Amino acid sequence: MKVLAIIPARYASTRFPAKPLAMLGGKPIVQRVYEAVTKAVERVVVATDDERIYDAVVAFGGEVVMTSTEHQSGTDRCAEAYEKLGNKADIVINVQGDEPFISPKQIESLIKCFENDTIDIATLVKPFTAEDNIDALENPNSPKVVLNGANEAIYFSRSVIPYLRGVERSEWLKRHTFYKHVGIYAFRADVLGEVARLQQTPLEKAEKLEQLRWLESGYKIGVGVTDIETIGIDTTEDLEKAEELLKSISL
């Protein structure tokens, strides 16, 4: 399968404006993400809506394409970028532009999902462990996923799913394996264009999770399981944590 990775990177952000250009270990975050993904995928392209990001990618020797400022999601931006690039791939991976520590093993796990011909979309989950606390499990900013026996997503929710009836909350993590969603997606190339044209659905509007639109529309989402903890950078505090992690890795 021919694989293309696209990194959507927009300049405007409510919590962290100009995030792709923030420096992490002497390099812009977008460059860190780009370099991490190239370890697993031969062709990587940044899709941006801002000339400053465009120029930064060109400066470090990366491939980049300009896209509209009107997109509501990274998926929509990826779909436009893919069309501009000439529609020449079997699988398109959407790598969030704030995941500088993404592992090649995680990307390989995504691609492996498409060995099943019925899978339209793939994503990753990480099991919560008994050492995690209940606050981490109940955090609505960390969506949870329920899988079926074929490792396909049944549902995504900001609530804790499943609910363990008759079990004290303090015991939940010891009594059941809960899965945390890792926000990276891969699409069959034709499916990417289809999902970008879908209208919002009731469950998506309720939970503010675009992957529910895909499930409600009948697409099958395969799931790879990873034990690698990634650090997404949403705030300046996250950037400080990322700096410390980068230092520890470099030692």
CA 45 to chain centre: 15
Region(s) of the chain under CATH 3.90.550.10: 1-98, 103-181+189-228
Per-residue pLDDT of the chain (251 residues; tens, 9 = 90+): 899 999 999 888 777 888 899 999 999 999 999 999 999 999 999 999 999 999 999 999 999 999 998 888 889 999 999 999 987 899 999 998 888 989 999 999 999 999 999 999 999 999 999 889 999 999 998 899 999 999 999 999 999 999 999 999 999 999 999 999 998 999 999 999 999 999 999 999 999 999 999 999 999 999 999 998 777 787 888 888 888 888 887 64
What are the residue ranges of helices labelled H in 9-103? 29-37, 51-59, 74-84
Q: DSSP assignment of 140-198, as one string?
A: TTS-EEEE-TTSBEEEEESS-SS--TTS-GGGHHHHS--EEEEEEEEEEHHHHHHHHTP
Q: What are phi and psi of 191, to 5 degrees?
A: -70, -35
> Per CATH, the architecture of 103-181+189-228 is what?
Alpha-Beta Complex (3.90)
Span 44-64, pLDDT tens digits: 999 999 999 999 999 999 999
β 3-9/43-48 pair status: parallel
The CATH code that applies to domain 1-98 is 3.90.550.10
* pTM reported for the whole predicted model: 0.91
Q: How many Cβ atoms sit within 10 Å of the Cβ of residue 13?
A: 13
Q: Is 19 in a helix, a strand, or coil? A: helix
For tokens 């549902």, the residue is: 155
Q: What is the largest CA-CA distance in the chain?
A: 58
**Contact (Cβ atoms closer than 8 angstroms) between residue 141 and residue 243:** no
Residue 183's pLDDT is 86
